[in-house]
Each structure stands twice: as C-alpha cells, then as structure tokens.
Amino acid sequence: MKKLITLVLAATLCMAISSANAQTQNKKARKQAKQEEQAKIQQERIALTTMAIDSSSFVLEADRLQNKWGNTINVPSNLNFIALHGESCFVQVGSNTRFGPNGVGGVSIDTRVTKMNVRKNKKSDSYTIDLICMSSQGTFDITISSSNDGQIASASITSNWGGRLTYLGKLVPTDESTVYKGTPRY
C-alpha cells in the first residue's frame, strides 16, 4: 500500500512539474511572438516614414506647441499641423474653443516651398528636413526633425517678422493623417 501511495504521489509530482514547465514555455513563446509582432510593426512604420519623406508627402501632427520662450501647451493634433505635399506646404494653428479667421480658432497659411533639403543621420537614425516657404505673409524657415519611424517629431518655424513656434508631435504619411484644414486667409 505504501508503495502504491508513493507511486501515485511521484506521478502527480511529475505531472505538476511538467505542467509548470509547459506553462513557462507557453509564456516564453507568447512573449517572443509579441516581440516579433512589435518588431514587424516598427519596420512597417520605418518604411512608411521613409517613403513619405522621400515623396515629400507627409503631415506633422502636433499635440503640443512651444513658443520662443519655451512655454508649452497641449493642443488637438487634428487642428495643429504642418502638411507637406510636393511643393505645397500648409501650416495651421487651431483651437477647439475659439473661432478665428481660418474657421478653426487660429491661423492657416498655404505656402509654396522654394527650397528643400533632406538629411538622414545614419548614426542616430533620424531625419532633418529644412524648408524655405513663401506666402503672401512673408518667408518662413521650417526645420523638421523626426525619428526614423516618425513617432517623435518636431518642427521649428521662424518667420521674417521675428516669431518662432515649435510643433511637437508625430510625422505620418498624408493618407494616414486625420487633420482638418481651415480656410487659409493668407
């Protein structure tokens, strides 16, 4: 009888150990599958961002704006953006709470790109895009910096009348953008 009880306990212990080992292996397999999926999504983002920058068809959707003194404010990304499409650049600042000359509580300026320079930093794997844009309101210098996947981007705009505004957000291809263009008055 003792031998039978010992044999049953040994079998139960072996099954419990093998079950715990199987659960650990399943957990490791799920973790590895999740990491592979995230790596695949990251590679797709990098390819889309590279294609958008190469084709000059992207939108920097800003969720924060920063003035020349460093003061930052959270803003809706669908109303605050810089959109580049070929030789046309659309710059907009807007607000959900006010009405303005552009219909979305701010200013919209449709410009023409006169000079564009794209640099890729291979060491930090990022992009820097320098634009000189002309409109009826003057000349704007826009410098856009973006990570290779577009998830971290910023753009600094300076004008010939002395202001500076920095957009902080992400860079997306034009067809994936969710921005709302106001009426440009300038």
pLDDT at 94: 86
pLDDT at 137: 83
How far does Cα 77 stand from its chain's mean position? 11
185: three-class secondary structure by DSSP: coil
pLDDT at 123: 84
> 163: number of CA atoms within 13 Å, CB side?
10
pLDDT at 9: 59
At 67, the amino acid letter reads N
Q: Do residues 89 and 112 make contact, with C-beta atoms less than 8 angstroms apart?
A: yes
Q: Which CATH architecture has domain 50-175?
A: Beta Barrel (2.40)
Low-confidence stretches of the chain (pLDDT < 70) are 1-4, 7-25, 185-186
pLDDT at 7: 59
Q: Which of 97, 131, 136 is nearest to 116 (CA)?
A: 131
Predicted confidence (pLDDT) per residue in 75-114, tens digit: 999 999 999 999 999 999 988 877 777 788 888 899 999 9
Q: Residue 65 corresponds to which tokens in the numbers above? A: 């704006």
pLDDT at 140: 92
C-alpha 102/C-alpha 27 separation (Å) is 54
